[in-house]
A = this chain, B = another copy of it.
Amino acid sequence: VSFLVTILGSSSALPTSQRFTSAHLLNAGERFYLIDCGEGTQMQLRRFRLRLGKINHIFISHAHGDHCLGLIGLLSSFNLLGHTEDLHIFAPAQVEEVMRPMIDFFLGQVQFRLIFHAVATKGSNLIFDDDKVSVYSLPMKHRIPTCGFLFREKEKERNIRKEMVSRYQLGIAEIVKIKQGADFIDESGNIISNTELTVPPMHQRSYAYCSDTAYNPKLPEYIEGVDLLYHEATFLHKEIKRAEENYHSTALQAAQIAQNSHAGRLLIGHYSARYKTTDALLAEAQSLFPNTDAVNDGDVFRVEPSREQ
Contacts and interface: CB of A to CB of B under 8 A. Distances in A.
Interface stretch (A13-21, A124-132, A160-168): A13-21
A18 B77 CA distance: 15
Interface in A129-155: none
A43 interface: yes
Interface string A37-63: 001101100110100000000000001
A14 to B, nearest CB: 5
A65 B73 contact: yes
Interface stretch (A97-105, A189-197, A214-222, A225-233): A97-105
A70 interface: yes
Contact of A14 (B21, B40, B64, B77): B77
Given A14-B81, A15-B77, A43 B20 contact: yes
A52 B90 CA distance: 33
Interface in A102-128: 102, 105-106
Interface in A69-110: 69-70, 72-73, 76-77, 80-81, 98-99, 101-102, 105-106
Contacts of A73: 15, 21, 39, 65-66, 69
A20 B40 CA distance: 9
B72 A65 contact: yes
6 contacts: A16-B46, A39-B42, A65-B76, A66-B76, A98-B105, A102-B102
Interface of A: 13-17, 20-21, 39-40, 42-43, 46-47, 49, 63-66, 69-70, 72-73, 76-77, 80-81, 98-99, 101-102, 105-106
